[in-house]
Amino acid sequence: MKQKPSYIYPLLNLMCAIFFSLGGTLIKLVPWSSMSISAGRAMIAAVMLLIYMKIRHHKIVLNKAVVIGGCAIGFSSILYVVSNKLTTAANAILIQYTAPVFIIFYIWLMFKEKPKKIDIIATIVISLGEICFFIDSLSVGGMLGNILALIGGAIYAVVFMMKRFEGADTLSSVLVGCLICSAAGLPWLVTETEFTPVSIGGILAIGIVQYGLGYICMAEGLMGTPPLTASLISMVEPIINPILAAIVLGELLTPMALVGAAIVIVSVILYNIAQEKLKPKIPIGAPNE
């Protein structure tokens, strides 16, 4: 199979972040509990993944690496939903996006790879941008929710590292993660009674677009994107989410939030441009590895 150009993989991770960011707006269409929405979207996404894998003739793989990746996807998603209930939405999402820091630590610990200076600088600058964006919404309360969000961030870091484990198959891991979320939220889903055209259309949109297409893009993007790079690109998601809500729903953004958004978006763009320039050049006519 012909290898994709190297820039395609980061773009797929960016598309994943954009699809994920649609959740904040789409979820407002569905009058269900968070766990019900989590289960419903995961079930629909699982069906999408099975269809996509069938079209691509991609066999389902089940081994230790796949299960680890699937558990990371499933449990980080569940912890995010639960932490949202116990602390503010701003706290939950900002703390979960400490994932790049954990990735640096994990790669150093497990693979003995010291982070590059550009990776450390990008992580610090983008994290500061996220703090600026959410600073007006942060709260000192909800300690249990904050702790669960931090654990979720530590687990979410493993999602971006799935491809590093021997025997890994990202699409199969995503499928396992969807099944875990489906099973965890099923007790809430079966108690729902409001199945109007709007709620059904909303959950279909969330499952197909936000979760299904989002995770397909992530699975494919991780095939050729380093874990830390993919994680830093994903940090545009919590920025795009409220920007879309501001555009579609008329919600207001503070001046500090706009400054933070600019820092994150510009930093991610510059980081990826620098990453491309630092890659070794392949001579014209040389075969792709």
Torsion of CA 265, 118, 19, 57, to 10 degrees: 150
Q: Which regions in the chain score pLDDT beneath 70?
A: 1-5, 140, 249-251, 278-289
Ramachandran region, residue 285 (left: φ > 0; alpha: ψ -120 to 50; beta: rest): left
pLDDT tens-digit profile of 239-268? 887 787 777 766 677 888 888 889 998 999
Residues 46, 173: Cα–Cα separation, whole Å: 11
Written as one string, the DSSP assignment of 40-57 is HHHHHHHHHHHHHHHHTT
Residues 137, 257: Cα–Cα separation, whole Å: 10
Residues 182, 187: Cα–Cα separation, whole Å: 10
pLDDT tens-digit profile of 144-194? 888 998 999 999 999 999 999 999 999 999 999 999 999 999 999 999 999
Q: What confidence score (pLDDT) does residue 207 get?
A: 93
Q: What confidence score (pLDDT) does residue 2 get?
A: 53
pTM value is 0.85
